[in-house]
Amino acid sequence: MSDVTIGQRGRLYSHTIAHVAPAGFKAPFFQAFVDIAEGPRVFALIGAQCPVESGVLEDGMEMRLVIEPLADTPENRNTLTYKYVPVRAVAGGDGRHA
Amino acid sequence: MRDVSIIGVGAHATGRFTDKAIKHLAYTAIWDAIGDAGVQLRDIQVGYVGNSLGGLLTGQEGVRGQVVMQHSGISGIPIVNVENACASAATALRGAWLEVASGAVDVAIAVGVEKMYVGDTARTIGALSAVSEIDLSQMGMQFTTSYAIHPKINLKEKMSKYGWTIADFAKPAVKNSFNGSMNPLAQHRRPLTIEEVVQSRVVVDPLTLYMCASISDGAAAAILCASDVAARFSSKKSIRVASCVLRSGLYRMPDDDRPDSATIAANVAYEAAGVGPTDIQAIELHDAMAPAELMLYEWLGLCGPGEGPKLIDDKITTLDGRQPVNPSGGLCSRGHPVGATGLLQVAELVWQMRGEAGPRQIEPVPKLAMAQNQGGLLLGQDSAVYAITILKS
């Protein structure tokens, strides 16, 4: 048995902006499916560097993995998870938490 | 397997009933069904009780079926608890159907009940999220999201591929709100316009508030009986269960080209019933979000790819059409108390097939009807549960 690293890169399959959020999350926030390079399609959140606005993401974009807190909330601030951000620079992104 | 008939149905209205627990909601449905069927309590030999969220929302984690049934005076007989997300009631129906079809019993009851109003919307949303695979709900996945961007639905892709518009997504909600306006059991009884639906607030882009089923309390029940002894209890028109199919979702990779799992379940049901999709004269389907109804038209074989909105434009699926869909008002108008929905659908079809549906009666009275119910979401992309029931009179 040996460890294999997957999911470093992928392609955005679909995305939306959710204007309601379950407990522990802040609306609005992006939700997406990403086809990772190794094959599977995974549900994923989008990294905080992307401003939550329509037009920022485009289905089919190349994405890369980031490891971030699940959400900027007291419940989830200390839980790390996988998220994706576009490989190319995001228009309008200022790096702040959205 | 023996022929099985539904000889009685009952339902509690859907909506917000803050003074009632699940056992009170179920009581109304159970006793309406018993009265409708003409059976005595002692005739009922087995019970299946569907409920999804009661553990998290009421704290009654176990034996909800026995609690609910004993409150209605039914005890001693075998009672089976059924949790299968939003398809819990259809799954309970299948359990009761199998009991009778196998010859184990002559008379069985199926109940579906849900209590979603608990005074804390976030808790209800949390419980609802927890009926999908927990890895998804812990990431903030909600059903509304899945109905917008799920690979099988992907509404933005449908807009570019089929030319569908936001107004097309609103059409099922408008049609169903009209049907629901004539249903005394319905939660939302105001007929909506395309403009109202489109302009209601965005919940998960591009889904708006009136395209989404809301939180709801409710219950429904059905009494099933071996067809050859049905006349002993009831003089009403016998409604035979032509097929009752349950499947679970498939694990799908992005290049998966197998049919949608609703299609797979429906095809099994059509074959078992010896009918085709265009033969069906009344349909209740799982429009938890309005655009899903457009996709289900395709998946159930009612139309070709992208033709969903046309079925409403051409008045095929309207109440006065050739294949009326969601005469009850569907999940968005009649209501979606999740663990009760599958039996609310069946109760509506039984009333329609007996000509008892009042101002929303389908004419001519349908002789062949279908209920489609599904629930849960798995990491493997599909819903967890797919259920189809076909009824014949």
Looking at the partner chain, which of B139, B149, B252 has a beta carbon nearest the beta carbon of A14?
Answer: B149
Tell me, yes or no, whether B184 and B308 share the same domain.
yes
Q: How far is A71 from chain B (nearest CA, A)?
A: 9
* Complex confidence, ipTM: 0.89
Percent of chain B whose pLDDT exceeds 70: 100
**Does B20 map to a domain?**
yes
What pLDDT score was predicted for residue A22?
87
* Predicted structure pTM score: 0.96
pLDDT (tens digit per residue) in B139-157: 988 889 989 998 889 999 9
**In the predicted structure, residue B83 carries a pLDDT above the cut 80:** yes
Q: Given CB atoms, is A8 within the 8 Å cutoff of chain B?
A: no
Residue B177 is assigned to a structural domain of this protein: yes
CA neighbor of B241 nearest in space, from B115, B102, B77: B102
B39 and B181 in a single domain? The answer is no
CATH number of the domain to which B52 belongs = 3.40.47.10
Q: What is the dihedral of CA B360, B272, B372, A22, to 10 degrees?
A: 170
Comparing B121 with B329, the larger pLDDT belongs to B329
Å from A48 to nearest chain B CA?
Answer: 14
Place of tokens 């099994």: B268
> Is there a domain that residue B357 lies in?
yes
B149 with B63, same domain? no
Examine the domain organization and report whether B90 and B189 are in the same domain: no
- B57 assigned to some structural domain: yes
**For residue B67, what are the contacts with CB-CB under 8 A and spacing of at least 6?**
B22, B23, B60
Q: Is there a domain that residue B79 lies in?
A: yes
**How many interface pairs between A and B have CB atoms less than 8 angstroms apart?**
85
Residue of chain B minimizing CA distance to A46: B139
Report the side by side order of strands in the sheet with B282-284: B79-82, B46-50, B107-114, B217-226, B4-15, B239-248, B383-392, B368-377, B282-284
Q: Would you say residue B124 lies in a domain? A: no
CB-based contacts of B169: which residues, under 8 Å, 6+ apart? B155, B206, B207, B211, B290, B291, B294
Report the distance separating Cα B335 and Cα B159, nearest Å: 27
CB atoms A40 and B254 under 8 Å: yes
User: Residue B207 sits in which domain range?
Assistant: 132-213+243-392
CB contact under 8 A, A18 and B139: no
Chain A residues whose CB is inside 8 A of the B129 CB are: 22
Pull the structure tokens for residue B283: 């349909």
Mean pLDDT (chain B, rounded)? 97
Residues B351 and B268 both lie in one domain? yes
- Residue B66 located in a structural domain: yes
Flag whether B126 is in a domain.
no
Residues B277 and B305 in one domain: yes
Upper half-sphere CA count for residue B307 (Cβ side, 13 Å): 14
For residue range B183-222, list pLDDT tens digits in order.
999 999 999 999 999 999 999 999 999 999 999 999 999 9
Instruction: Let me know whether B266 and B372 are in one domain.
Output: yes
User: For residue A9, with 0-12 CB atoms within 10 Å meaning exposed, 13-18 middle and 19 or more buried, which class applies?
Assistant: middle
Which of B125, B148, B154 minimises the CB distance to A22? B125
Per-domain residue ranges of chain A? 9-86
B252 CB neighbours in chain A (<8 A) are 41
Condensed to tens digits (0 to 9), the pLDDT of residues B4-25 reads 999 999 999 999 999 999 999 9
Find the mean pLDDT for residues B153-180: 96
**pLDDT range class, residue A91, cuts 50, 70, 90:** low
Nearest to B36 by CA among B204, B235, B205: B235
The tally of domains found in chain B comes to 2
